[in-house]
Each structure stands twice: as structure tokens, then as C-alpha cells.
Chains A and B, each alone.
Chain A
């Protein structure tokens, strides 16, 4: 079974629109970590954020915000007032405290149209 599901394969928005990228995870561990990475057209993955399972506070960083809800096993990512430079593939990932692996979702390709 997929540990991380990103149901949205592709999303297109017009510049300045808000967009939310969904991420649903599955784990039996009580201690785990969730991540978002951005992969721009250049190809190199860039780390955006890490949350641990004990901290459900939502986080805002500029135009980016993250909504972590353990009740629904979701860790959604919202970009406010999107820009063309936000066009990329975004990956959600899970790691469990007891393991070595990172489990990546299949990614959501975001296109921001000028």
C-alpha cells in the first residue's frame, strides 16, 4: 500500500490564484516526519519543510503554508498568490522514526499560467 498519496497528478492555475496541494499519508508509527520538496524544471529537488508528528501547528512561510491534520492523516500545502516561478513538481514524503527510508508520493505537477 502507498504510504504517501498525492492524488492530484497535475494542476494548472492562473497567476495570483491560490492553490492547495494535497498529501495523505499512512503509518502505524507514533513518531514520524513529513516533508515537502519542490522539483523545478531544472530537476534538483529542494527541501521546503519538515514537520514532526507531535507538532500539529500549521506553519506559514511567506506565500507558503502547510496544514497538518493527524485526524485525517493529511499534510496539505497551500501556495497563496501563485507565481510563475512556483511551477514545479511538488513531492510529499514521510519518514518513520524506526526506519531508514523516506517514502515519497508520486508528486503533483503545478503549472502557473501568466
Chain B
């Protein structure tokens, strides 16, 4: 079946503009994660969704960042008033459930460049 898909693959924007990044998880996966990977760095956890439960937003770096997950499937990460330090690859992952034993399946990422 299809893997995790993300769009757009690349996004270039000007400082101060808002951007929306989209993630389509694997069908049937109830858990969805967003991460940020800056150049040469590891993965920074941003937010986690599990079914209809309240999301774990503990990793969001500022109130300019928000995310939604509609219908328990597609998720959108929104960054308002983008700054140059927001430039990074944003990765989405999904897994079958909340248990920490479940491996995550990653999408190809969206490379965001803020000029």
C-alpha cells in the first residue's frame, strides 16, 4: 500500500509569510507525528496525534506553530509569520498505535526555505 506522503516536497517563502505543510499518513495508522530536521541535526519532535485524543504539543517551538489533524487522517502543520530559523526539513511519520513499541513510518519530508 501507499506510504506516508507529504506535500509540497519543497517550499520557498519569504520571511513573515504563513506556510502550510500537509501529511497523508498510511491508511489505518492512528498515530501521527511531526518532526523538524535542521541541517546536519537530528530529529526534533514537534507534535503528536493519536486518534481523537488531545494532541501532545509539547515540542512546538513557539505559538507561531500549530497543527491539525482532520478526521483522524490528514494533518496540516502551519507556521505563521515564518522566520529564517524555521528553515528545515519537516518530517511526518505515522504508526499503528500509541504503544512505544510501534515503529514509525516516515514520509519524504517537506524542505522549507525561508528567505
State the A residues within 8 Å of B (CB).
32-33, 35, 37, 42-47, 50, 52, 91, 95-97, 99-107
Question: With the chains together, A100 CA to B35 CA distance in Å?
Answer: 13
Question: With the chains together, A95 CA to B48 CA distance in Å?
Answer: 13
Q: How many interface residues does B have (CB within 8 Å)?
A: 25
The binding surface of chain A is classed by DSSP as strand
State the B residues within 8 Å of A (CB).
33, 35, 41-43, 45, 48, 50, 56, 58-59, 89, 91, 93, 98-101, 103-109
Residues of B within 8 A of A107 (CB): 41-42
Q: Is the CB of B103 within 8 A of A47?
A: yes
Residues of A within 8 A of B105 (CB): 47
Q: Is the CB of B45 within 8 A of A45?
A: no
Which of A33, A37, A45 is most buried by chain B, counting CB atoms within 10 A of its CB?
A45
Q: A47-B105, A102-B33, A104-B43 are in contact. Are A32 and B91 (CB under 8 A)?
A: no
Q: Is the CB of A101 within 8 A of B45?
A: yes
Q: Is the CB of B48 within 8 A of A43?
A: no
Q: Is the CB of B108 within 8 A of A44?
A: yes
Q: Is the CB of B99 within 8 A of A102?
A: no
Which residue of the partner chain B has the closest CB to A107? B42
Q: Is the CB of B109 within 8 A of A44?
A: yes
Q: A101-B48, A104-B43 are in contact. Are A43 and B89 (CB under 8 A)?
A: yes
